Amino acid sequence: MPKIILSYRRSDSDAIAGRIRDRLVRDYGEHSVFMDIDNIPFGTDFRQHIQNAILQNDVLLAVVGPNWIGSNPEAPARIHEELDFVRIELETAMTAEIPVIPLLVNGAVMPKPEDLPAAVKDFAFRNAATIDSGRDFHQHMDRLVRSINRMVAAAPQGRWRRLAAATNGRRAAAAAAALALLVLVPLVALQWDRIRPSPPATAPAPAAAAPNPGSAPRAAETVVDFSHIAAVADSAKPVAARPYLHQYQISVTDLVPPESEIILVNNRGLYAGAAVVPTYSQNFLTQISTGNQPASFTLRLADPVDEFRFVRPQLFRDTKSGVTHPAWTATALSADGQPLSSVSEGLLRSLDEMPGDISARTYTLRTPNFDRIAAVRFASDPRLNGVPFAAFSALLIEQISLVRRPVPVRQGR
């Protein structure tokens, strides 16, 4: 199921944008459509916050009303302000090559190139969809939904995520220049050690040699890799996950329902391999014995982390009935149980009439402040309209990565 975000100017198209959002929720689900980027933590660079939010989506719908550029008789239009939210959203999506569809509402027309900042001037040439608020609304929305489905199915997998670094060209250029200078100094051996490819099962990064004064310490990443577990790979039957998670100092708590289990299962045990396309591992972490009802569990970390990443695998349909994956939410928790951040996904369906597979996704939980992630709560719901529907009772996890950033050491004067 694609993730869709609406970009709009509240003073220009608030009411119709809300109606468009409600219709998209009917087609894609509550967890697949996003409308407002808010809850920006205090002290956070809101530009980076908006960029990170945009890059989590597959399509950006730009709702363009009669005053979308934000005309002001006494000053330049708001779209020319570097801090304009609409401009930041649009520029982020276009730079990262996320598909952008202009939606013309309330009789609006597309802006002229000369009316736009240079960074988003090409927006004027995008083919727009007209959304009428009257009797043709649902007909226009049906056409938009079909276009979104074709666009997402035809897009190269992960293309815009690989290009996410382009959203800050100046920082990228500065980083490249710094790297070039490092190559010229007599630290080549150390740099090679940093960039040398790691084996698939990545252990925490080894301690680097003493850094130069002022250099930032490197993050250590631990990959919780299930692919090498022979007890799972040699059988189609599930095995208890706790002993293997314990090796990474991860414990399982707060099971709902209490009789459910957290297991590792080989792809052969998931419809004989006729539903999941592995990217990193043929073995997957999941929750069973849930009664096909909403279920949840918590992974607690003995050593808290700065980032918690996990991979939901690629799914494909092998029969006419297709394949479905439950809706889910993952919430990062602090040591005292306070929510820090969350990611979610609606119920995914790949039916016989739908083009393409459901692509694998890597989700990242980060901390918005100085707290670290001490636990992650996973909640799954396999139901559709209150009735058990998904082929899997809970979220499938193919791989987990734990990222810890050392606290910088202050150097003496």
Which of 280, 330, 347 is CA-nearest to residue 2? 347
Longest dimension (CA), the chain: 72
Strands, DSSP E only, in 267-397? 276-277, 283-288, 295-305, 307-312, 314-315, 323-325, 327-333, 339-345, 348-350, 361-366, 373-381, 383-384, 387-388
Q: What pLDDT, on a 0 to 100 scale, did the predictor assign at position 386? A: 82
Q: What pLDDT, on a 0 to 100 scale, did the predictor assign at position 234? A: 63
Q: What pLDDT, on a 0 to 100 scale, did the predictor assign at position 199? A: 45
Element spanning 145, H or E: helix 137-154
Which of 141, 124, 129, 123 is CA-nearest to residue 104? 129
- C-alpha distances (whole Å) from 210 to each of 28, 190, 216, 270 are 51, 10, 11, 48
Q: What pLDDT, on a 0 to 100 scale, did the predictor assign at position 366? A: 87
Q: Whole-angstrom Cα distance, residue 346 to residue 204?
A: 33
Q: What pLDDT, on a 0 to 100 scale, did the predictor assign at position 209? A: 42
Q: What pLDDT, on a 0 to 100 scale, did the predictor assign at position 276? A: 85
With a cut of 50, list the residues of the chain below it in pLDDT. 157-176, 178-190, 192-216, 355, 409-413
Structure tokens that stand for 46 in this block: 């809101």
Render pLDDT for 127-168 as a digit per residue (tens, 0 to 9): 999 999 888 889 999 999 999 988 877 765 444 443 444 444
- Domains of the chain in sequence order: 4-162 (3.40.50.10140), 223-404 (2.60.120)
Q: What pLDDT, on a 0 to 100 scale, did the predictor assign at position 48? A: 79
Q: Within a 13 Å sphere around the CA of 121, how many CA atoms are in the beta-carbon half?
A: 5
Q: What pLDDT, on a 0 to 100 scale, did the predictor assign at position 162? A: 39
Q: Whole-angstrom Cα distance, residue 31 to residue 363?
A: 14
Q: What pLDDT, on a 0 to 100 scale, did the predictor assign at position 224? A: 92
What b/e sequence results for 320-351 when a residue is b if at least 16 CB atoms lie within 10 Å of its CB, and e otherwise? eebbbbbbbbbbbbbeeeeebbebebbbbbbe
SS3 (DSSP) at 50: helix
Q: Whole-angstrom Cα distance, residue 288 to residue 282?
A: 18
Q: Whole-angstrom Cα distance, residue 126 to residue 134?
A: 24
Phi, psi values for residue 110, rounded to 5° = -65, 140
Instruction: Say whether pTM exceeds 0.75.
Output: no
Q: What pLDDT, on a 0 to 100 scale, did the predictor assign at position 156? A: 52
Residue 103, strand partner residues? 63, 129
Q: What pLDDT, on a 0 to 100 scale, did the predictor assign at position 275? A: 78
Structure tokens that stand for 306 in this block: 């700065």
